[in-house]
Amino acid sequence: MNIYKTIFTIGLAFVSLTAAAQKDSTIIRQVLLEREYNPTLQDASKINTLPSIYTPVVKAKDFKYVSSAPQLTLNNNRLGSAEPGDIKTDVVFSKKRGYFVIGGGSHANVEGALGYRILDSDNDRLDITAAHSSTSGNVDYLDGDKYFYKDAKAKYAASQVKLKYQHSFEPSILSFDASFLNNSFNYYGNTFVPKESPVFPYDITTRQNVDVINIGASLRSSENNDGLLKYKGSVRYQNFKSKYGLYTDNKGPKGGQFDIDVDFYTDFASDKVIGIKGGIMNQSFGSKNETFHKDAFHSFTNITASPYFNMEGGNWDVSLGLNINSLFDIKTKFLVSPNIKAQARVNEENTFYVEATGGVNNNTFLDILQENRYATPLARIEYSKTLYDAKIGFKSGVITGFEFDLFAGYKKTDKDHLFAASPLYIPVVAGDPDPDYTAWGNVGTPVYANVGTGHIGGLIKTTLIPYTDLSAKLTAYFYNVKYTNGYIDGLFDTALLSEKKAWGRPTFTAEFNADVRPFDKLILSVNYLFAAGRKALAADYGVLNYRVEKMNDINELNFKGEYEIADWVSVNARVNNILFQKYELQYGYALQGFNFMAGLSFKF
């Protein structure tokens, strides 16, 4: 019945957007500007594009107002947050209708993609794409000599099929899309069981399996829309299902996420824009595993309204707004946070900018699957509230071919989640003191805290060296952590902790990238990644007290080359972690050491 209600609600919302489109029309404008300085070391599985460090860009504000924590993902390591949908092909559909990409290498690393534009006319486009990324190779634990196992086989696979249709009917553009994603992985992380242990009560081989069905529709103004009201809106439903919960005899959480996002605005006086963005996000669970904790998978709804007023001058622009959130969870709460951005240009080459934003981080099941797939299946991760995220900076391009950006900021987030690595907690069930099942041996258990995060850094880019693009970015971070409780008592006892750290987050990151094109058909790339100052919280098997561990620095050097044999085929090769470094993103989950991969790309 809930599914039928959801489908009916989607239909009503979509009909409303369509009616608005037929009445009013205009050009789409990016009315909210955002610069994000997160220490991101890139997402994985971009197999047909060159690795590059994060560059500050002006982009449209995301409807969900997610202000992410400093988290690290790797561009080259196959055990990073890889998703098959990230694979890029750079196909120019006006010249080519399809692409095919295939690659393979050490550690049984395999990736591929296939796409074709079935329909391509002035008013209609229909695309179908498929992608796959997987690995299944042994990795060595960093401190394996101390524990029951020295290494483990790390298994991961993600496959996705997507269909997208777009129709233009002046003055609007209508889109539909649907996709299916299958994601499987094993909890292979170090279980911290002593070598002399007579039993090994944890499962590090069985694959967890997550399926996601995604359907959506959107409506936006076309460039020929000159009406008073401008608009953009979308509706989306995602159904998710995980196979296992606390152990292999226990059903995993399943449910759905429903999103409505709208943006209505209008221009006036040629240099001003007034509008309002809004959204509804509802996450509900059809299978609530409350064997050990009541309300472990409580439903959650976030209703957002964000009015804004933008002004532009000859050498400046300002956006004034608020983010207003109504939150319906175990308790009903509200949050009002700023959404203010301004920048001023001096002599066109120099720009001063400042912003203060905030909002709610939903931390849905699908959000956490991307952030840390090894998070505990014992309970839902709670939402967090970014009270404010203030940034200030100066960027300059006064020298042709050389640019730099200096920035600093401070963010305050309430009930942020940090992860502790520990064997999965299995309470003793009455009448079954010695259960004949095994649980996952290393899961990320959330530790909730009010976290203040400050950062300062700089970025430079230059093309002064012929045929070469160089860029480098340095960022330092500092934290203020105060523990708080989650709504599920007993999931984690912060009284056991003597230290207050931003567990798993770096205090310093550095990124360097050099792309060299000696001639048109060949491009070479060197990428260096560094992150230091991370500490982890972990518990050994059978030990109640948690211990603090210093995590190895990420110190990774990678190389990639791509050669275009013809306009329809190219060959590429990657050599990653040339320095043979050992490190982890989630404590206990060692990543691959030296690894390589080669592949072919076809366009047709």
Residue 306's pLDDT is 97
For the chain, counts of helices (H) and of strands (E): 2, 29
* CATH number of the domain enclosing 404: 2.40.170.20
Residue 52: per-residue pLDDT:
26
| pLDDT, mean of residues 275-290 | 87
pLDDT, averaged across the chain? 83
Q: By the 8 A CB rule, do 357 and 389 touch?
A: yes
Q: Which residues contact 217 (CB under 8 A, 6 or more apart)?
A: 10, 14, 174, 175, 176, 177, 234, 235, 236
pLDDT classification of 70: cutoffs 50, 70, 90: low
Rounded Cα distance, 406 and 352, in Å:
10
Query: At 49, is the pLDDT very low, low, confident or very high (cuts 50, 70, 90)?
Result: very low
Nearest residue to 594 (alpha-carbon basis) of 146, 86, 110, 109: 109
Q: How far apart are CA 448 and CA 161, in angstroms?
A: 36
> Could you give the CA distance from residue 12 to residue 175 in angstroms, rounded to a whole number?
16
Return d(Cα 582, Cα 79) in angstroms, integer.
13
Band (pLDDT 50/70/90 cuts) for residue 582 is very high
Q: Which amino acid is at 166?
A: Q
- Amino acid 66: pLDDT: 37
- Write out the two tokens for 64: 């969900």
Q: What is the Cα–Cα distance from 265 to 228, expressed in whole angstroms?
A: 9
**How many C-beta atoms lie closer than 10 Å to residue 588's C-beta?**
26
Question: Of all residues in the chain, what percent carry a pLDDT higher than 70?
Answer: 79
Q: What pLDDT does 81 receive?
A: 45
| 491 compared with 166, residue with greater pLDDT | 166
Whether the pLDDT of residue 1 is over 60: the answer is no
| pLDDT value, residue 290 | 60
Between residues 126 and 143, which one has the greater pLDDT?
Answer: 126
Write down the pTM of the prediction: 0.85
Residue 5 has pLDDT above 50, yes or no: no
Evaluate if residue 562 carries a pLDDT over 70: yes
Task: Encode pLDDT of 18-30 as tens digits.
Answer: 433 333 322 222 2
Strand-pairing partners, residue 477, are 455
Burial (Cβ within 10 Å: 0-12, 13-18, ≥19) of residue 190: buried
Q: Within a 13 Å sphere around the CA of 423, how many CA atoms are in the beta-carbon half?
A: 20
Report residue 269's pLDDT band, with 50, 70 and 90 as the boundaries.
Answer: confident
Cβ–Cβ under 8 Å, residues 535 and 479: no
Q: What is the pLDDT of residue 425?
A: 58
Residues 433-458, mean pLDDT to the nearest whole number? 85
pLDDT interval class at 224 (50, 70, 90): confident
Separation between Cα atoms, residue 236 and residue 435, nearest integer Å: 41
Give residues with Cβ within 8 angstroms of 136, minimum separation 6: 107, 108, 153, 154, 155, 156, 157
Contact between residue 293 and residue 379 where contact means Cβ atoms under 8 Å apart: yes
Confidence class for position 512, pLDDT limits 50, 70, 90: very high
Q: Tell me how far apart the alpha carbons of residues 298 and 602 are, in angstroms, rounded to a whole number.
A: 47
Q: Is the dihedral of CA 356, 361, 367, 370 positive or negative?
A: positive
Query: Coil, helix or strand for 8?
Result: helix
Distance CA 279, CA 235 (A): 10
544: confidence class by pLDDT, cuts 50, 70, 90: low
pLDDT score of 209 more than 80 = yes
Q: What are phi and psi of 6, to 5 degrees?
A: -60, -45
Nearest to 415, CA basis, from 370, 446, 389: 446
- Residue 543 pLDDT grade (very low, low, confident, very high; cuts 50, 70, 90): low
Taking residues 48-60, report their average pLDDT. 29
Interacting residues of 448 by C-beta distance below 8 A, sequence separation 6+ = 382, 415, 416, 417, 418, 483, 484, 485, 486, 492
Mean pLDDT of 359-377: 95
Q: Coil, strand, or helix at residue 592?
A: coil
| Average pLDDT, integer, range 282-295 | 76
Number of domains in the chain: 1
Q: Which of 511, 537, 538, 382 is nearest to 72 (CA)?
A: 511
* Residue type, position 303, single letter: I
Helix (H), strand (E), coil (C) string for 249-304: CCECCEEEEEEEEEEEEEEECCCEEEEEEEEEEEEEEEECCCCCCCCCCCCEEEEE
- Nearest to residue 604, comparing CAs of 564, 568, 560? 568
Q: Span 454-471, mean pLDDT?
A: 95
Residues 6+ positions from 121 with CB-CB distance below 8 Å:
none
> How is residue 351 written in tokens?
């720009």
Q: What pLDDT does 86 receive? A: 57
Give the pair of three-digit tokens for residue 193: 């069981």
Higher-confidence residue of 527 and 79: namely 527
Helix (H, G, I), strand (E, B) or coil at 221: strand
In this prediction, residue 84 carries a pLDDT of 63
CA–CA separation, 321 vs 593, rounded Å? 47
Whether residue 574 is predicted with pLDDT greater than 50 in this model: the reply is yes
109/79 Cα distance (integer angstroms): 10
pLDDT of 41 > 80? The answer is no
- Amino acid in position 321: G
Confidence grade of residue 32 (pLDDT, cut at 50, 70, 90): very low
- Structural domain that includes position 12: 2-603
Confidence of residue 147 (pLDDT cuts 50, 70, 90): confident
Q: Checking phi first, is residue 146 left (phi over 0); if not, alpha (psi -120 to 50) or beta?
A: alpha
pLDDT for 531 = 96
Examine the pLDDT at 197 and tell me if it is beyond 50: yes
Beta strands of 380-538 (E only): which ranges? 384-399, 402-422, 439-440, 443-462, 468-483, 508-519, 522-532, 535-538
Task: Measure Cα distances from 452 to 254, 340, 477, 502, 503 in Å.
Answer: 33, 20, 10, 9, 13
pLDDT in tens, 72-116: 666 555 554 445 655 666 677 667 899 999 999 999 999 999 999
Q: pLDDT for 446-457, tens place per residue?
A: 999 999 999 999
SS3 39: coil
In eight-state DSSP terms, residue 495 is G
3-class secondary-structure state, position 371: helix
Q: What is the mean pLDDT of residues 5-33?
A: 35
Q: What average pLDDT does this structure show over 528-541?
A: 89
The residue with greater pLDDT, 508 or 347, is: 508
Return the top range by mean pLDDT from 8-22, 74-88, 492-506: 492-506
